[in-house]
Amino acid sequence: MHAIQHHLRPSLARNAACAMLMAAAGLLSAAAGAQQFDAKGIARTESVRHDFEGNREAIQVRVDFAPGASFPKHVHPGVEIAYVLAGTVEYEMNGKTIRLQAGESLYIPAGAAHSAKNVSTGNSAELATYLVEKNKPIVVLEK
């Protein structure tokens, strides 16, 4: 596995685990092919948004990628944990290419610029868990 590992504070890890469990049933069972892709071949389905630690929130989103689709370089106002549900997704972060297959995950630190691309011949999907500051955009594209 090519995941970058970091240690989370116990309360942060506990809250992330709760958010992931709350969404797992609905997101993991979403029917393949039922996505509404945008013009770039990306479909985002938010399943959980829950406040914690005052000014922060946990957000969980299923991101589906059509074959060859990519999400451009961007940052988040907090950490992201990306778990690949289907296919193969290639991430670019800190000058490195990280290729993950279904069942593998990646920790993306707050403010780390990264991109993602479906390198499978079919659709790919990831479960993105964000632990971010409230009232800020979840995704900020790099210029």
Contact predicate 90/97, CB 8 Å: yes
Q: What is the pLDDT of residue 72?
A: 93
Q: pTM for the full model? A: 0.76
pLDDT at 135 over 80: yes
- pLDDT band for position 15 (cuts 50, 70, 90): low
Is 79 a residue whose pLDDT tops 70?
yes
Of 6-15, 60-69, 91-100, the range with the lowest mean pLDDT is 6-15
- The average pLDDT across 4-29 equals 48
User: For domain 10-141, which CATH number applies: 1.10.3720.10, 3.30.465.10, 3.90.230.10, 2.60.120.10?
Assistant: 2.60.120.10
Share of the chain above pLDDT 70, in %: 76
> pLDDT value at position 142?
86
Domain layout of the chain by residue ranges? 10-141
Q: What are phi and psi of 14, to 5 degrees?
A: -65, -45
pLDDT tens for residues 44-66?
Answer: 999 999 998 889 999 999 999 99
Cα-based distances in Å from 21 to 102, 118, 124: 18, 25, 21
